[in-house]
Amino acid sequence: MAKAIEIEDFSYGYPDGTSALSNITLSVEHGQKVVLIGPNGAGKSTLLLAMAGFVKGTGKVLIEGLQINRKNLKKIRTTIGSCLENPDDQLFMPRLFDDVAFGPLNMGLEAEQVKLRVADALQTVGLTELADKAPHHLSAGQKRAAAIATILSMAPKIITLDEPDGSLDPRNRNNLIKLLGSLPQTLIIATCDMNFAAVLADRAVLLDKGRIIADGDAKKIMSDSKLMTEHGLEVPSVRSPKDHKMK
């Protein structure tokens, strides 16, 4: 069986010549929860965009064995769902229901199937009651959950999330951790918050200046204070979801 994600020697530079990603080689198994950690500007968001075929560089990116190219793009985007950093960019429809239905409708599903998918996705994130609300009437936590629902309704096998914990209060952050922890999909999460990363991930990939510095067991990497400090990060003060709740 093909791996969920396989990246071989991938490099990408911005139009002004600045290198964003250099010789990235990474493979992710199905069901893994991987955090991409690193300081601001390390290339985490660009790597997530590359995984969904939004940036084209040199090297290979394979999603479930399919190489990203124009021919495979439609199939790939039903396999990998990308949740952007700002939920306001993700929620562009005038009503939450239509936003969650947007993906399934573009997949060519029948109206009844779309309604079922939307109902399931909204129930998973706990927003069933708000289906008819306009996104600008939602709170920050609700927007974040809604943005995840827009991806879940497409039933992707892989989900990428860019800084999903940004500007969330502790209660909403705990709810998000619970939600992400309960998802069976392969998760790739980019974050600068080490406590958030520590409670969610099995595996951590440390990026800095567009290169992979370390890749392995999340606890092991994130407890290496020398490595973390060298790359502008900190050792998390929590190790498990239980600890995180107590904090």
Nearer to other proteins, 35 or 84 (CB): 84
Q: Pick the binder of other proteins from 88, 169, 217, 234 (CB under 8 A).
A: 88
Binders of other proteins in range 125-144 (CB under 8 A) = 132-137
For other proteins, the closer of residues 95 and 209 by Cβ is 95
Where are the alpha helices (H) located in 126-212, listed in sequence order?
140-152, 170-182, 194-200
Q: Does 81 bind other proteins (CB under 8 A)?
A: yes
Cβ-based nearer residue to other proteins, 74 or 220: 74
User: Taking CB under 8 A as the rule, does residue 114 contact other proteins?
Assistant: yes
Q: Which stretch binds other proteins (CB under 8 A): 3-11, 24-32, 49-57, 206-214?
A: 49-57
- C-alpha span between 78 and 23 (Å, rounded): 27
Does 93 help bind other proteins (rule: CB under 8 A)? yes
- Beta carbon of residue 30, minimum distance to other proteins (angstroms, whole number): 20
Alpha carbons 95 and 127: distance in angstroms, whole number: 13
Alpha helices in the chain (DSSP H): 44-51, 73-79, 87-90, 96-106, 111-125, 140-152, 170-182, 194-200, 218-222, 225-230, 241-246
